[in-house]
Structure formats: C-alpha cells, structure tokens
C-alpha cells in the first residue's frame, strides 16, 4: 500500500536523524523487542543495576496502556520515560525522539528502548538504534524464530531469557538455538536468567565493549 510505504519512509528518515543525534551524544542505543511477557522490564532493570558504576542506563518504555513498567524501573532508580501508544502496536522514530528529549542524555551511556510487546509490528520500524535485541523466553516454545522471521532476522542480538525455568518448561535448548541460528543468523546469542543472574556477565561485558566502540565512533 502506498500510504503504508510513505509512512515507513517518513519513519526511516527520522530514524536516521535519531541515529545521528544519539551518535553525537555518544550513546549506545538498544531497541528491545519480544512477545508480551518475555521479561523485558526485569531484564532491563537487572542490566542497569549490574552495570552501575560502569555505565549509566536510561530507558524509554512503550506500552499500549499503563505506566507499570516505567514505575517498576523508576522505583529501581533508573531514569525512564513512558510512551503510551493507545492502539498502536509498535514505537516509531518520532515517539522516540520526543521521549528522548525528556531524558538528561548527557548523564547516560546506554539508552534502552523497551518496545511494545509484539513480535510482528515493531520489525518494520527502525528507531535509530545501534542494536536491535530480541528476547525469547524458555516458556514460549522453541519455534518462535521460525514463526516470526522478520523480527528474528532483523535482530543484532538474541537473548534467551528465564533460563532458570528451562527444566519446568521442558525447553529444548538445542532446538531453540538451531532455530535462532537459522533465522537470526547475524545475531549474537546470549542465554541467561534475570532472576538468578546466571549468564548475565557475558551480556554485561558485551554492552561495555559495544559502548566503548560507540564512544570511539567505531560502531
């Protein structure tokens, strides 16, 4: 559809503006996407807490309704702006640009954009991020990468979450990793539990390294 295409083109242009703006601010920007309930907010909270003293993390949170996620992050002392989208199933570059203006970006090293919980719509919308991070929780089933290929294919990073529940969920790790490698074939893969902390170190070290590259203008 022509209308749809022109909306996307407008979004893509503004995404490049965001990208340039964030680059000038030496921020590492993550666009975090997943199904509803994959554990994005808890993962972001634990990431920010464990990076304390090394990197300062701010968050833009998108949801159709409620500011529950922002409240959870704010309680943990993390600078956060909530976007409520109404009936829109994804964030777009303009929403992100306006929300970013409400944060004191000079005091941040990493900006995490927690997208609306949805494995379809956000795939088409570049927000100006450096890294698109897709979460797959062990309770969702191993075939999600095959069923939602645009989202998983476009990800730079895939994070298998809730690894502490793998046994209870009967999670077939080998199959899930094979499916991820097949669809998200450019992606760096992490496996972890925000609850127990298992596997978090590799993810945190990766962010420190990526942020150093961003700061040096090498990204």
Residues that bind a second copy (CB under 8 A): 1, 3, 35-37, 63-66, 68, 87, 89, 116-121, 123-124, 137, 139-141, 143-144, 146-150, 162, 165, 168-169
Is 165 or 177 the residue whose CB approaches a second copy more closely? Answer: 165
**Closest CB to a second copy among 113 and 214?**
113
* Least CB distance to a second copy at residue 80 (A): 16
Half-sphere exposure of 37 (CA within 13 A, CB side): 3
**How many Cα atoms are found within 13 Å in the side-chain-facing hemisphere of 8?**
10
**In terms of CB distance, is 18 or 34 closer to a second copy?**
34
In the bound complex, what is the minimum distance in angstroms from residue 167's beta carbon to a second copy? 9
- Which residues fall within 8 angstroms of residue 143, CB to CB, at 6 or more apart? 179
How far is 105 from 54, CA to CA, in rounded Å?
Answer: 16
CB of 136 vs a second copy, minimal distance in Å: 9
Minimum distance of a second copy from residue 144's CB (angstroms): 6
Residues whose CB falls within 8 Å of the CB of residue 156, separated by 6 or more in sequence, listed in order: 131, 132, 133, 186, 187, 188
Instruction: Between 98 and 147, name the residue whose CB sits nearer to a second copy.
Output: 147
Helix (H) or strand (E) holding 183: helix 173-183
């Amino acid at each position: 559809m022509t209308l749809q295409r022109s909306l996307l083109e407008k979004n893509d242009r503004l995404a490049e503006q965001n990208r340039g703006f964030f680059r000038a601010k030496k921020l590492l920007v993550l666009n975090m996407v997943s199904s509803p309930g994959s554990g994005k907010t808890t993962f972001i909270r634990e990431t920010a807490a464990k990076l304390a003293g090394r990197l300062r993390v701010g968050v833009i949170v998108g949801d159709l309704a409620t500011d529950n996620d922002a409240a959870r992050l704010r309680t943990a002392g993390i600078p956060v702006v909530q976007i409520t989208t109404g009936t829109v199933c994804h964030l777009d570059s303009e929403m992100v640009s306006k929300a970013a203006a409400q944060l004191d970006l000079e005091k941040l090293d990493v900006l995490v954009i927690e997208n609306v919980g949805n494995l379809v719509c956000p795939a088409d919308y570049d927000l100006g991020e450096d890294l698109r991070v897709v979460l797959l929780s062990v309770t969702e089933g191993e075939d999600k990468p095959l069923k939602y290929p645009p989202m998983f294919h476009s990800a730079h990073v895939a994070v298998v979450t809730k690894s502490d529940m793998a046994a209870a969920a009967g999670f077939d790790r080998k199959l899930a990793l094979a499916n991820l490698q097949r669809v998200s074939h450019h992606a760096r893969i992490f496996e972890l539990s925000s609850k127990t902390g298992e596997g978090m170190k590799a993810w945190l070290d990766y962010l420190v390294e990526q942020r150093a590259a961003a700061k040096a203008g090498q990204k």
